[in-house]
Amino acid sequence: MSALTGTGTLTRFILRRDRIRMSVWTVALVGTVAMTIPTLDEAFSTDAQRQARAALMDTPTGILFGGPGYGLDDYTLGAMVVNELTMSLLIATAIMSILHVVRHTRAEEESGRAELLRAGVLGSGAQMTAALVTVALLNLVIGGLSGALMAGYGLDATDSLAYGLGLGLAGLTFGAVTAVCAQLTEHGRAASGTAFLAVGLLFMARVVGDLAERGGGPSSWASPFAWVQQARVFDDLRWWPLALYPLSILALFGTAYALAGRRDLGAGLIPARPGPAAASPLLNGVFSLHLHQQRGSIIAWSVATFLFAISFGTLATEVEGMLDSNPDLMAMLGGAAEDVTAGFLGVMSGYVVMAAAAQGILSVLRARSEESAGRAELVLATAVGRVRWYGAALAVGVLSTSLLVVLGGLGIGIGALSSTDDSSWIGTMLESALSQLPVALAFVAATALAVGAVPRLMSLVWAWLGYSVFTTMLGALLGMPDWALNLSAFGMLPQPPVEPFEAAPAAVASAAILAALVLALAGFRRRDLAVG
Amino acid sequence: MSSPAVDARGVDKYFGRFKALDGLDLTVETGQVAGFLGPNGSGKSTTIRVLLGLLRADAGAVRLLGGDPWKDAVALHRRLAYVPGDVTLWPNLTGGQAIDLLGRLRGGLDRGRREELLARFELDPTKKARTYSKGNRQKVALVAALASDAELLILDEPTSGLDPLMEAVFTGCVLEAKEQGRTVLLSSHILSEVEKLCDTVTIIRQGKAVESGTLEDMRHLTRSSVRATVTGDPAALASLPGVHNAEIDGDRISMDVDNDHLDTVMRSVTDLGVRSLVSNPPSLEELFMRHYGDELAALNGNRGSAA
């Protein structure tokens, strides 16, 4: 029996088990491409319009979510698609690949299902291989269809092919990064956390490199986020940067297999140690229990958000550098260097709020998994009431989300201070992030309401977050109507420093959040506990 | 006598269209050990969760320790301790931490008894819960429950993961609890366990209580198995009222006797001159088989036709 015995069966099983999940990702991502191409074509139909757009892409914010800027000199439809869409697609495929690989490797081991399978006729490497085969399939189908759509729209077929291939390989690379992360700890959650952190760092590496010099600096080349665009598709196509993908994929898979071969099933490379025989006096209630359960995750999110915020903040220097070397840019963006920097940092603090919202959703969902696992039953059978248990869980969600928002604002401020020597940034950026606190908490409240009253609707909260992020990143570009943009949570409230803070909408939002939390508690008190 | 510790009348519970409990009645008198017997999926755990106020009954009346388990959950839970059938713990807490936490949430536990129970159940409290087997997770919940001073213990198949040695420890603990005057509701599908521990038994099937009473009462409803060697011809015994499944082999006879006819049958046996006599009381197994016998027969029938 080889290490790969049973891989085929398992691969078919994963395709069967995840057929809906995989189809949704494919339709969503390919659909975005399908929707974007004609919209861009119509919205920017003249050369003048396209060059105006290209100038915008040459700004710091443009580079952050655009890329190194190939093809901006002659901003044809193909170059436009590549510059406008690549980062959104890569971030989405990274999330997809991380979730997929962890779900079919470490999460299976953690749940004990892997033990059941491995006791059968199944090779030791079969599960990881099946996870990687399916993630490869998923990414290549998405990349392939995207490329085919572009070629079908009349764009150059060779460039379309290269682009589609690059997208697919980039997604697969993120899957390979995850396969390594999944070997390190015993927990699926920690594995995906590590992978998200690794991918986040790779993204930052590209941003730093691309902001440093036109066409990307050395740190860009360290990042798989860069290689698709370094192939200069629809500009001056060169294939060799794409070869970096298979090379790194092979190296990462090799590492993952080597690590997997050195450990027991279910074990991490970092072994578990015995713990205290008695609980500390601090662990004396449901709030401290919830906090104890989420401690690691809250610390990880806080550290990651703070560090990313600081590094976003330090990009202020790059922004000022660009403005110095390109006075026209300042004129185009209309105004003083400070306003441009403020606009850029304001966008950054928007992303901090997105991270806080995602953490808030996950935090409240922990209460749900406590419930489905049967641990809530154990606690609620003691002298702890429903409202106290769920209220404490929601308090942890609200507090941790607020902490992230504060740390994010503070981090951007500190980063900006360190690069501009202007200490007023700390206050400005804190205000900017805090003005959006109700937006992040709205996701906490929505999740709370779903879990408390109508658990069936839980996935709608993710859909809302996904939609809100999507419209923030692409809504204006795609010319989405105002009512559709208004459904997004981000942009609900005016955000300093670009817009002045307004108390009235913030108060209304806070009241609505409070009402939703109360309803959530009432709902949880009335419904049956999910058991068994 | 004071009001019963558990008193459920005509309880219905639906999960969607599935009727999990169908007019269930269950009474546990204070100070008694009550067995709650039924196969998997018969509604034992659902009943217990209704008693704990985790699920709300769709119909019927439920009283627990004199209160409403849904409305007065917190106050009632201070007076009871619960061990679920499938114990899940917090993977990153040690067994000792989980025991202390559950104790504190209930309102305190006896340190001395905690240490004693840890030793008796041979449980290592420094291990993280994720490394525990099913049996060890169950021990954590058992120690937490037994170290409390709860007046009512609700135990849902508490021995399903324990080895025979630990089962014996468990039996000892329940008997001690009974001596201390605590009330115990013990759900199980292990007949010998219920027979050993329980004063009363309720047999549940498809969400309905089909039989309940003291073991004594129930034994009266059934048959004892009697084997005797007699001087005379035992053939006459076979036709007596209340005698079933008589098998005669020379001067030996084995038969099942209805308990209300036991007296007359025994007189006839002694009239024939007894040389040896063995009589076994009906086991709970037989009671159980009587209520699930048709299911078993159907199962065997299916197997027969499949083969």
Residue range(s) of every CATH 3.40.50.300 domain in chain B: 6-218
Whether residue A168 sits in one domain with residue A114: yes
Enter the tokens of residue A30: 């390919």
Say yes or no for a CB contact (<8 Å) between A276 and B52: no
For residue range A205-216, list pLDDT tens digits in order: 998 899 888 888
Q: What is the pLDDT of residues B145-172, one digit of tens each?
A: 999 989 999 999 998 889 989 999 999 9
Residues A54 and A181 reside in one and the same domain: yes
| B89 chain-A contacts, CB cut-off 8 A | 375, 378
Residue B290 has pLDDT above 80, yes or no: no
State how far residue A396 is from chain B, nearest Cα, in angstroms.
17
What's the pLDDT tens digit per position in B72-101? 999 999 999 999 988 999 988 999 999 999
What's residue B259's pLDDT?
77
- In the listed set A216, A232, A267, which residue is the last one of a domain according to the structure? A267
Which of these ranges, A14-18, A318-322, A393-397, B31-35, has the smallest mean pLDDT? A318-322
pLDDT band at B291 (very low <50, low <70, confident <90, very high): low
Question: Do A296 and A222 share a structural domain?
Answer: no
Distance CA A108, CA A104 (A): 6
Pick among B44, B101, B136 to test the A interface (most A CBs inside 10 A): B101
Q: Decide if A278 and B101 are in contact by the 8 Å CB cutoff.
A: no
Q: Which fold does the domain B6-218 belong to in CATH?
A: Rossmann fold (3.40.50)
Q: Are residues A256 and A319 in the same domain?
A: no
CB contacts, 8 Å: B141 with chain A: 378
Minimum mean pLDDT among A74-83, A102-111, A371-380, B20-29: which range?
A102-111
Residue A498 has pLDDT above 50, yes or no: yes
pLDDT of residue B306: 37
B297 at the A interface (CB within 8 A)?
no
Alpha-carbon distance A242 to A234, whole Å? 15
Report the residue of chain B nearest A186, measured CA to CA. Answer: B130
The listed range with the strongest mean pLDDT (A192-196, A361-365, B238-242) is A361-365
Is the Cβ pair A531, B104 closer than 8 Å?
no
As for how many domains chain A has, the answer is 2
When pLDDT is averaged across residues B235-260 and rounded to a whole number, the result is 86
Residues in Cβ contact with A274 at an 8 Å cutoff, skipping those fewer than 6 apart: B94, B126, B127, B128
Q: How far is B5 from chain A (nearest CA, A)?
A: 16
B105/A385 CB distance under 8 A: no
How many contacts does A have with B, using Cβ atoms within 8 A? 115
| Residue A359 pLDDT grade (very low, low, confident, very high; cuts 50, 70, 90) | very high
pLDDT of residue B304: 40
Distance, in Å, from the CA atom of B57 to the CA atom of B35, rounded to the nearest integer, reads: 21
Predicted local confidence at residue A332, as pLDDT: 61
Do the domain assignments include residue A309?
yes
Interface contact flag, A531 B102, Cβ < 8 Å: no
Which of B73, B87, B130 faces A385 most closely, judged by CB atoms? B73
Say whether pLDDT at A391 is over 70: yes
Q: Is residue A146 part of a domain?
A: yes
Inter-chain CB proximity A374 and B93 less than 8 Å: no
Question: For residues B289 and B47, what is the distance between their CA atoms, to the nearest angstrom?
Answer: 22
**Single residue among A241, A267, A293 that ends a domain in this structure:** A267
Nearest-by-CA chain B residue for A111? B130
Interface probe with A: pick from B13, B71, B88, B110, most Cβ of A within 10 Å: B88
Sign for the CA dihedral angle at B35, B123, B51, B80 comes to: positive
Residue A234 phi, psi dihedral angles, 5° rounding: 60, 20
Q: Which pLDDT belongs to residue A370?
A: 92
List the B223-230 sheet strands across, edge first. Answer: B243-249, B252-258, B223-230, B274-280
Residues A251, A370: one domain?
A: no
Same domain, A110 and A3: yes
Residue B88 contacts A where some CB pair is shorter than 8 Å: yes
Of the ranges A51-60, A486-495, B109-118, B247-256, which is most confident?
B109-118
Mean pLDDT of B34-56: 91
The verdict on a CB contact (< 8 Å) between B126 and A373 is: no
The residues, any chain, with a CB within 8 Å of residue A273's CB and separated by 6 or more, are none
Q: Which of A283, A381, A528 sits opposite B82 (nearest CB)?
A: A381
**Which residues of chain B neighbour A282 with C-beta distances below 8 Å?**
none
Contacts of B87 in chain A (CB under 8 A): 374, 378
Minimal C-alpha gap between A289 and chain B (Å): 8
How far apart CA A339 and CA A331 sit, in angstroms, is 12
| pLDDT winner (highest mean) among A306-320, A361-375, B238-252 | A361-375
- pLDDT above 60 (res B302): no
Contact A433, A349 (CB under 8 A): yes
Does the bond joining A276 to the residue before it have cis omega, within 30 degrees of 0? no
> Rounded to a whole number, what is the distance in Å from the CA of A514 to chain B's nearest CA?
25
- Please give the share of chain A, as a percent, with pLDDT higher than 90: 55
Whether the pLDDT of residue A439 is over 60: the answer is yes
**CATH 3.30.70 given to domain B223-281:** yes
pLDDT of amino acid B296: 57
Considering the domain architecture, whether residues A102 and A180 belong to the same structural domain is answered as yes
Chain A positions touching B68 (Cβ under 8 A) are none
Whether A305 and A199 map to the same domain: the answer is no
What number is the average pLDDT over the span A188-199? 88
CA distance to partner chain B, nearest, from residue A381 (Å): 6
- What token pair was written down for A484? 């559709």
Give the pLDDT score at A126: 87
> In angstroms, what separates the C-alpha of A455 from chain B's closest C-alpha?
15
pLDDT digit string, tens, across residues A279-290: 888 888 999 999
Q: Where in chain B is the domain with CATH 3.30.70?
A: 223-281
Stretch A363-376: mean pLDDT, rounded? 92
Region A308-324: mean pLDDT is 81
Shared-domain flag, residues A246 and A393: no
Predicted local distance difference test score (pLDDT) of residue A388: 95
Three-class SS of residue A509? Answer: helix
Q: What distance in Å separates residue B79's CA from the closest CA in chain A?
A: 9
Residue A276 is assigned to a structural domain of this protein: no
The CA distance from B46 to the nearest CA of chain A, in Å, is 9
Contact A279 B97 (CB under 8 A): yes
Q: Does B45 touch chain A (CB under 8 A)?
A: yes
Plot region of A493 (φ>0 → left; ψ -120 to 50 → alpha; else → beta): beta
Contact flag A275-B126 (C-beta cutoff 8 Å): yes
Residues on chain A touching B105 (C-beta within 8 angstroms): 285-286, 379, 382-384
In chain A, which residues have their Cβ closer than 8 Å to the Cβ of B57?
none
Contacts of A289 in chain B (CB under 8 A): 90, 101
Whether residue A280 lies inside any domain: the answer is no
- Which of A264, A366, A378 is the mutation pick for testing B, counting most B CBs within 10 A? A378
Cross-chain residue pair B74–A377, CB shorter than 8 Å: no
Question: What confidence tens digit (pLDDT) does each residue in B100-121 have?
Answer: 999 999 888 889 999 999 999 9
pLDDT over threshold 80, residue B307: no
Q: Give the minimum alpha-carbon distance from A116 to chain B in angstroms, rounded to a whole number.
A: 15
Is residue A11 located within the same domain as residue A154? yes
At residue B192, the pLDDT reads 76
User: In this structure, is residue A275 part of a structural domain?
Assistant: no
Task: List the domain range (segments joined by +) for residue A186.
Answer: 1-267
Of A267, A296, A315, which marks where a domain is finished?
Answer: A267
For A378-387, what is the mean pLDDT?
A: 93
Per-residue three-class SS string for chain B: CCCCCEEEEEEEEEECCEEEEEEEEEEECCCCEEEEECCCCCCHHHHHHHHCCCCCCCEEEEEECCECCCCCHHHHHCCEEEECCCCCCCCCCEHHHHHHHHHHHHCCCCHHHHHHHHHHCCCCCCCEHHHCCHHHHHHHHHHHHHCCCCCEEEEECCCCCCCHHHHHHHHHHHHHHHHCCCEEEEEECCHHHHHHHCCEEEEEECCEEEEEEEHHHHHHCCEEEEEEEECCCHHHHHHCCCEEEEEEECCEEEEEEEHHHHHHHHHHHHHCCEEEEEEECCCHHHHHHHHHHHHHHHHHHHHHHHC
Most confident stretch, A312-326, B126-140, B202-216, B291-305: B126-140
- Cβ distance B282 to B219 under 8 Å? yes
Q: Retrieve residue A195's tokens.
A: 């992978």
% of chain B residues with pLDDT over 90: 51
- pLDDT tens digits for range A323-354: 777 666 666 665 566 777 888 888 889 989 99
Q: Which of B105, B107, B126 sits opposite A276 (nearest CB)?
A: B126
Of A158-162, A396-400, B267-271, the poorest mean pLDDT is in: B267-271
Looking at the predicted structure, is the pLDDT value of residue A518 above 90? yes
**For residue A251, is pLDDT > 70?**
yes
Average pLDDT over residues A376-401: 95
Are A274 and B94 within 8 A, CB to CB?
A: yes
Across the interface, do A275 and B127 touch by the CB < 8 Å criterion? yes
Q: Is A1's pLDDT higher than 70?
A: no
CB contact under 8 A, B77 and A289: no
* Confidence band of A114 (pLDDT split at 50, 70, 90): confident
For chain A, give the mean pLDDT.
89
User: Which residues from A are below 8 Å from B73, CB to CB?
Assistant: 380, 385-386
Higher pLDDT, B280 or A454: A454
As for the ipTM of the complex, it is: 0.79
In terms of CA atoms, which chain A residue is nearest residue B73?
A385
Residue A530 and residue A414 share a domain: yes
Looking at residue A30, its amino acid is V
